[in-house]
Amino acid sequence: MARIDSLAALRAVYKPATDRSVAKVLPGIDGHCRRFIALSPFLLLATGGPDGTSDVSPRGDAPGFVTVADDTTLLLPDRPGNNRLDSLENIIARPGVGLLFLVPGVDETLRVNGTA
């Protein structure tokens, strides 16, 4: 197996993304996303550290624990944890975040990328 070390080499291996895949990227949170978030009791929060490391942290509570403030703003409650503060420290250093919402029994997920 050859090592892939450029975008051109990567794209040579894979077909282009389908129109459907490209179209699912939205500029904000639509009605379907709002309903999915309201049903989700669990999400994964991805952050990046100042040294380039990545971290994924679970967040969860009763469905509806994340509030959709508007089409581009989500409010996540702060819950007691282990006090390592990995995610919060990373967000201060590098505010880019990725959220992966899950709903039990549903074979779809919802990805939301943005800044904190």
Instruction: Delineate the domains of the chain, giving CATH numbers in brackets.
Output: 26-115 (2.30.110.10)
Digit-coded pLDDT (tens) for 56-72: 999 999 999 999 999 99
Check if the beta carbon of residue 96 is closer than 8 Å to that of residue 55: no
End-to-end Cα spacing for the chain: 39
Residue-averaged pLDDT of the chain: 95
Q: Which two tokens stand for residue 11?
A: 């794209």
User: Is residue 13 within 8 Å of 7, Cβ to Cβ?
Assistant: no
What digits encode the pLDDT tens for the residues 22-48? 888 999 999 999 999 999 999 999 999
The whole-model pTM stands at 0.89
By the 8 A CB rule, do 96 and 104 touch? no
Q: Is 76 helix (H, G, I), strand (E, B) or coil?
A: coil
For residue 112, count other CB atoms closer than 10 A to its CB.
19
Do the beta carbons of residue 100 and residue 66 sit within 8 Å? no
Confidence of residue 81 (pLDDT cuts 50, 70, 90): confident
